[in-house]
């Protein structure tokens, strides 16, 4: 019998907007000589000793499933890492789950804590997947704009104004993608006060925690009384240059972790075995390379922020990650127009700020995770484009 359905795709998925980043990657893919400042990943190759560890695991035949929560040795290394680097203690057996990247950690967190109609406050500009992941889990994303005049830092009053009886959690990313803004310990304490006052969870995306340039990084879970209220998401992609390995982790209370593990075991089973052995090596012996990458990113940040300001694109100084978020309002173009014309006329790929939320309009995201020589050439081209307007 012929179906009368107009589509077999669910309304929820059908209504999801495609990632705004992909359109510019697709445009750039067929062009020659493009300098890409759009990709949010390190330009460094995973260190050889880390790759060698994965190769060795294959040679030794370690190709079976691991426990759902990940290799215990890796969870023990993550626990030591979190304590030694960020002064937060987690039980390897009860409070840590190894995931397929940080994105899957956020996904299982949302599916674990949300009932239909529960609200999650999402601070924007933000990573493009946050709102869809809340919605796919049946929740409602309440977006709050961190404004340029506050260096894209969210203010407690802004958060408190949108808290309702349905609010379940606040989602934060510090250092932030796309702005690079990093919240200080005092600023985190102000947000923590709200979480305690209104009995909320904090979903803390700390994937860029290693990339802090001007002050020591503070984890939300390290704030007094916040470990039990924080679902901490992190991983190996950014700080350890392991994007393609797709390996992350999530830390929380035994109750929440046990519940997340149920979702994880049905949806993903476990993370890649050889990637987990590589991560063990990265945590044990990868600190020198991480420190060198941070030094290089800091030099590039200093260069690109100064350069943008000199050519007339006002840009705040990002405290972390590897993104600059300059304003292009002085050009008279909106974010989409600027990014598309820059790509077509000068062969420089950037990401329009509005794909990260309404407060990103009038800005572009530029990744400085590329060589200094490429950054210098990109700045020349951007200046030439601005001068031509």
Domains of the chain, residue spans: 11-46+288-387, 48-286
> Where residue 308 falls among pLDDT bands split at 50, 70, 90?
very high
> Where residue 23 falls among pLDDT bands split at 50, 70, 90?
confident
The CA distance from 304 to 321, in Å, is 14
Give yes or no for a contact between 113 and 168, defined as CB atoms under 8 angstroms apart: yes
Which has the closest alpha carbon to 356: 323, 316, 389? 323
Residue 185 has pLDDT above 90, yes or no: yes
Residue 210 has pLDDT above 60, yes or no: yes
The reported pLDDT for the residue numbered 212 is: 97
> Where residue 6 falls among pLDDT bands split at 50, 70, 90?
low
Residue 355: count other Cβ atoms within 10 Å of its Cβ. 22
Helix (H) or strand (E) holding 168: strand 167-173
The reported pLDDT for the residue numbered 268 is: 93
Cis peptide before 377 (omega within 30 of 0): no
The reported pLDDT for the residue numbered 29 is: 78
pLDDT digits (tens, 9 = 90+) for 327-342: 999 999 999 999 999 9
Helix (H, G, I), strand (E, B) or coil at 248: strand
Residue 4 has pLDDT above 70, yes or no: no
Residue 56: count other Cβ atoms within 10 Å of its Cβ. 14
pLDDT digits (tens, 9 = 90+) for 226-279: 999 999 999 999 999 999 999 999 999 999 999 999 999 999 999 999 999 999
The CA distance from 380 to 376, in Å, is 6
The reported pLDDT for the residue numbered 25 is: 76
Mean pLDDT of the chain: 95
The reported pLDDT for the residue numbered 218 is: 98
The residue-averaged pLDDT of 62-67 equals 97
> Where residue 79 falls among pLDDT bands split at 50, 70, 90?
very high
The CA distance from 174 to 308, in Å, is 23
Helix (H, G, I), strand (E, B) or coil at 375: helix
Handedness of CA 175, 226, 357, 150 (dihedral sign): negative
Residues constituting the chain: 389
Give yes or no for a contact between 356 and 335, defined as CB atoms under 8 angstroms apart: no
- The DSSP secondary structure of 172-238, one letter per residue, reads EESS-TTT-----HHHHHHHHHHHHHTT-EEEEE-TTTT-B-SS----GGGSTT-GGGEEEEEESTT
pLDDT digits (tens, 9 = 90+) for 214-231: 999 999 999 999 999 999
Sort 178 into a burial class: Cβ within 10 Å, 0-12 / 13-18 / 19+: buried
Q: Which fold has domain 48-286?
A: 3.40.640
Residue 129 has pLDDT above 90, yes or no: yes
pLDDT digits (tens, 9 = 90+) for 136-176: 999 999 999 999 999 999 999 999 999 999 999 999 999 99
pLDDT digits (tens, 9 = 90+) for 87-120: 999 999 999 999 999 999 999 999 999 999 999 9
Question: In the chain, at which residue ranges do the beta strands (DSSP E only) sit?
Answer: 35-36, 96-99, 119-124, 140-145, 167-173, 201-205, 230-235, 248-251, 323-324, 348-349, 351-352, 364-367
Q: 100 to each of 137, 250, 273, how far by Cα in Å? A: 18, 10, 11
- 48-286 has the same fold as 11-46+288-387: no
Q: Which percentage of the chain shows pLDDT scores above 70?
A: 98
CATH number corresponding to 11-46+288-387 = 3.90.1150.10
The reported pLDDT for the residue numbered 219 is: 98
The CA distance from 243 to 222, in Å, is 26
Name residue, tokens 């995931």: 99
């Amino acid at each position: 019998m012929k179906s009368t359905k107009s589509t077999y795709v669910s309304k929820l998925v059908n209504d999801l907007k495609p990632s705004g980043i992909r359109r510019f990657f697709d445009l750039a893919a067929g062009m020659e000589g493009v300098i890409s400042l759009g990709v949010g990943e390190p330009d460094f190759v995973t260190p050889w000793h880390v790759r060698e560890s994965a190769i060795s695991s294959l040679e030794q035949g370690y190709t079976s499933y691991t426990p759902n929560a990940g290799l215990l040795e890796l969870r023990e290394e993550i626990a030591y890492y979190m304590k030694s680097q960020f002064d937060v203690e987690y039980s390897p057996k009860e409070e840590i789950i190894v995931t397929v990247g940080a994105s899957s950690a956020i996904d299982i967190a949302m599916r674990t804590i949300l009932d239909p109609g529960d609200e999650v406050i999402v601070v924007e500009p933000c990573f493009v997947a946050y709102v869809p992941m809340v919605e796919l889990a049946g929740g409602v994303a309440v977006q709050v704009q961190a404004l340029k005049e506050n260096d894209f830092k969210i203010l407690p009053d802004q958060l408190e104004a949108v808290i309702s009886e349905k609010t379940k959690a606040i989602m934060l990313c510090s250092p932030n993608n796309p702005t690079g803004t990093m919240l200080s310990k005092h600023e985190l304490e102000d947000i923590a006060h709200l979480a305690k006052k209104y009995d909320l969870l904090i979903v803390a995306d700390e994937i860029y925690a290693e990339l802090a340039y001007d002050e020591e990084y503070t984890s939300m879970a390290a704030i007094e009384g916040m470990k039990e209220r924080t679902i901490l998401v992190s991983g190996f992609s950014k700080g350890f240059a392991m994007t393609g390995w797709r390996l992350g982790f999530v830390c929380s209370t035994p109750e929440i972790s046990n519940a997340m593990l149920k979702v994880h075991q049905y949806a993903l089973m476990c993370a890649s075995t050889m990637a987990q052995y590589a991560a063990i090596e990265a945590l044990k012996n990868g600190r020198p390379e991480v420190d060198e990458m941070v030094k290089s990113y800091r030099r590039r940040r200093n260069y690109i922020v100064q350069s943008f300001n000199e050519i007339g694109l006002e840009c705040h100084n990002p405290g972390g990650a590897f993104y600059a978020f300059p304003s292009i309002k002085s050009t008279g173009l909106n974010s989409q127009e600027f990014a598309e014309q820059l790509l077509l006329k000068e062969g420089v790929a950037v990401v329009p700020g509005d794909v990260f939320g309404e407060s990103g309009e009038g800005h572009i995201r530029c990744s400085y995770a590329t060589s200094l020589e490429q950054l210098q050439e990109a700045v020349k081209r951007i200046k030439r484009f601005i001068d031509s307007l």
